[in-house]
Each structure stands twice: as C-alpha cells, then as structure tokens.
Structure 1
Amino acid sequence: MKFKLGDFVRFVDEKREGYVTKVIDSQTLGVTDEDGFEIPVAVSNLTSVHGHGVVAEEPDLPKPIQVNAPGISKIENGIYVAVATDDKAGNVVHFYLHNQSANVLLVSLTTERKEKYTGSFYGILETHQSKLVYAASLADLDIWPEFIFQIVLFSKADVKPAEPLVIKKKFRAKDFSIEQRELPQLKNKGWLIRLDELPSVNIDPQKLKESFFKSPAEKKTVAAPAKEIDLHIEKLRDDHHFLEADEILQIQLSHFQNALDAAIVHHFDKMVFIHGSGNGTLRDKIHKLISKNPHIKTYMDARKEKFGYGATEVVFK
C-alpha cells in the first residue's frame, strides 16, 4: 500500500495511530502519534484508517460541493497556505493550499532539502477551494524543506493571461508567532500565510534614460494618459454586467497600473484616480500599490467637495 504525507494510519502490531509526517525512504515512514512523537515505522507495519478527516477522498465517492464558508469575505483575494493544527496530535500541522482568487489554479508543489527534491502535490484548485498538500511535525520546523509552488492561473474573463507563478517559501518561526485564527473551508484553527503579493512595478530610471537615446525605430511609444482616470467598471468595459466581482477588480487594477506607469514615463507631476467609495476594496488595493512605489512622493483624497472619499490624487517625485 502506498502512503502519502498527511495520511492517518494505524500500526498493525500495536494499538497506536498517527499521521505520516516524513518519508524516510521507500520502505520507512515517519509517523507522529497523538503525543507528538515521530516514530520511524516500516511501511509493511502500517494500514490506512479510512474515513478520517484528512484522508483523501475515495475515487468512487461524490465530491463535496464547494461553498463559501462564513468569514471568507474578510480575507483579501489571493493565494494562501492554511497551516492547520490537529486536535489529536498537538505537534502535527497540515498544509492546505487555499485559492481565494477569481482564477482556477493549476498547481504543483515540490519540496527541496539539501538539494534533494520531492514532488509532493499536483492538482487543480477551483476558486475558494482548499486542498491538503503536505503535513509535518511543528517540532521539526528547523528541518522543514523549502516549499516550491508552481502555479498557472486560468480565467474565463477577457483579461490578458497572467505569467505563471513560481513561489519559493521557507517557513520560519515568525510565521507562527501570530495568533491562530479560523481557517477558510476548514474546521480547524491555524495560521493563514499569503503566498502571492501584488508586486509594485518599479521603473529603473537609468534604463528609462537610456531608452531616450534609442533610435525612433527602437523606441516603444507609451501614450500619455489622461490627468484624471475613472476606474468605474462601466467606464472600462461594455460587458461589465456579465463579470464577477473578482474579475472586475482585476480589470480595474490592471487599468490603474498601466495608467500609473505611463504617467511616470511622461513625468507627470500629479494625477487623479477615481475609484468610488463602495466597500473600499479598490481604494485599499490602490493605496497599497501606491505606498510601495518609489516614484510617488505622496497621495491624498482628491477634491472631497466633488468626490468625497471616492478619488485619490497621486503626487510624483
């Protein structure tokens, strides 16, 4: 019988159960029992405990319907690792990849330790879905491998395909220093760690300067944007009635970033982005990107008498 990390198993020759938390070699596994001790056990001395919460579904069973658990809306859109504790084995933690985005994710997880690589998981994550990808003993944190996630993002929306992500994550003690919380799609508590972050686009001033000395044939023309950019979706897309909320946000942020980059290239002193007030999600995302951009001096609410808190003025360096 073939076991994988996270399987709940029972010892054949004694009354003891635990989780597979380490693959020692092809014939031996590390099993962590309810007391938190990891024990090397021969594969031949183990049997699966079917029906336990973390055991993978049998192929002939219907898949559960994915629903949005309460509290999901409080989590920013993105890709997360949910590190869940276990009530029966205090030292064991289970790693779930959680997709809190508008995209379908094609994912593989490879672990690396001392230049030895192990394929640990591959599969598809629908939006707002979690899947178990790994398990380990928290007591062995110092010798955990580095996690290498390769992710392809798929969307049915009319947006330019995003580049595949390669995310390397080495877990540290500081990742688990914050208070545990209820985890999305799971009954357990644990830690929610975001893997993807919207990168701030930094333009290298030297490269920009060099581009001015290229011949006309070599130059790529960037059109100057308007001084005032309206990001309301009805201004950007005629088919906005058919778009999901996450798709709308992606389009708005893409339009914002393109206009911001063009303003930097054309040496704007300031510009205004009209994002509306709404629930504040778009405003917060924009402010986060602005605060990380080295070409921006400051930003503020723009013309409150006209927009209230629905527009932001950006002042460039």
Structure 2
Amino acid sequence: MKNKDIKPGDKVRFLNDVGGGEVTRIDGKTIYVIDEIGFEVPVPVSEVVVVERKNENVSEKSGDSILTPNEDNAINTSHSEAIEDESPYIDPHHDDLNPRIYLAFTSENINSGDQKVDFYMVNDSNYFCYYLIAETGDDGLARGLFSGTLQPNTKEFLEQFSTTKMDVSWHVQLILHRKDKPSRLFDPVNELVKIKAYRFYRDNAYKDNDFFDYKAVLIPVIKSEFERRLENLSKKKTQRIIKEKEASNEKKITAKKQNRPEIIEVDLHIHELLDNTSGLTSAEILKIQLDKFHAVMEEHQKLKGQKIVFIHGIGNGTLKHEVRRQLNTRYKKHSFQDASFREYGYGATLVII
C-alpha cells in the first residue's frame, strides 16, 4: 500500500502526549517538531498524526491513521479515542471492488517456548469497517470477544495471547461502508476462521508485509478474487479425490456382490441363537429373536437385490407377526413374501432388499 510522506512544514499532533507542532526535519524514523514554545522535540514517526499538510488548504485529520515516511508502515494503529467523524486517509491506489480485512498476529519472541502474539485487526481498504469477533460455546450460543469500528487504512491492537491457547474457531462478522462518497454496497461478511496454534511455530509462518515494520501472520477475512479462485481449485481437487475414492469403493462393492450368496438364510429359532434358554421369559426370548432380525437387516439393507430368508417357524405366530410388522413399518422400502413352501413350509419369510 502506498502512503504519503511526512515532510518538513507539515503540522502534526502528538499521539501519546499533549500538543504538537511543525515538522522541521526528518532523520530516519525520527522527526523533529517545533512545539508551541519554540523547542525542537525529537519524536518517533509512529507517535504523531498529520493534521495539516504544507501548502495544502485542506487539513487531513485522523484519529487513527498515522502517516509515515516509509511504505512498510502504511497502515497504522487505530486508537480508541478516534471518532468516525474525523476525516480518514483515503488511498487512491486501492481497488475499491476488493477491500481487504485481515486478522494479524505479530511476536517479538518467535520460536521461543512461551511465545506471545499480539493480535491486530487490519483494515486495508478505503471503507469504514464495523467488526464483531465471537466464539461459540458448547451450548451453541455466541459470545462476543471483540467488536468495534476500524477507520479506513488503519490497524488496531486488540489483545495479546499465548500461542498455546490459539487453537480457536472465531466467527468474524464485518459490515463495510464509505463515508466520503457513494460506493458499492457489500453484503455483510460472516466467516468462520479456524486458527491452529502450531502454525505460529513454523519457520515461514511470519512474513514481511505492508502493515508492520516486522514480520506477521496475516489471515484474510475477505478473500481476493485470486484467493477465491485458488480456494475453488482446491475444492475441485478435493471433490475429484472424493469421487475417485467413491468410484474405488463402488468397484469393491461390486466385487463383493459377485461373491455374495444368492440367498441368505437366518434361523430365528431361539435354540439356534442361544445354547441355554432356561430362566428366560417369552418376552425376553422374543426380544433376542427380533434383535437378531434387526442386526441382519441393518447389515444387508444396502445390498440391493439381496434375498434373505428369515425362518421363524409357525408356533403361535407371534414371531412371524412381529417380523412382518417391522417389515411393514421400519423396513417398508424392501419387499417381502412367504418363502418357498416346498423348502420352508409356512414358517419362513423371504425379504428382497
């Protein structure tokens, strides 16, 4: 991102102290300011804000956009005392059709055992950004963690975290709008951002960027057209792998079909299911028989065309009645009929999956 240079003659206001003055000279990242009583005061460039440009009639006021002499710090820290009515810095080089909002993490002790990261919201756009970051609890309800307004082309420090506690999933909601002119109306953004602690320990996790004088981990909340295309490509690749796996599984199932028996016989007589039935009531015996029936149906119900014969006997008809009641209700998508009288008499039911 491009930025305007602070030049001698510009009028600035101190961010961390009362007062300000006119810039007399610049030495690297230090500027010298003549204050109201005539003293020349050295001040870090990050601790001032330009309120009036030399030879410009229009003042550029900003409570949280710090204009610096290098492009590496083009986006600057948003301060809580800033108000939306102050005129923000508008970058003419921005692509206003693709605003960029980031979650940013920086650290002074990269790769240390007890690593701390400073968490920022970064607004790399000419839009005001209302934001809400929330976490969903086990009860399914959202709990707000951070909320506020980012002025255009600013960044705001929110909190310091231990990286060991950064296995989190945050819901990030954004609303963007322009105040200086009519603009495109964006749909509200609602993204689930998953952050893993291990990524902060990778050698290449922290990268040079346009927003800080040091390396940072940047996570885009609003993706660019290129990132969306890349993500779609990744999704297509994933879908292709899934389809290939499904096709492989279908081949395996087909192979199993070729080897499966034409008819499966299941004898539900209790003496075929248990070695000893002493002490069991009629209700308990019926439950054991029906449990076997359900287990066989669940195991084979995806094998289309499979034939299963359940041998229930004649007896008093209770087991046959329960089997057919289950087939008419729970398994009604499968057809059934009396099994072959020649082979089973009246005591069996044929189910066709």
Q: Return the TM-score normalized by structure 2.
A: 0.34
Q: Return the TM-score normalized by structure 1.
A: 0.37
Structure ID, larger Rg: 2
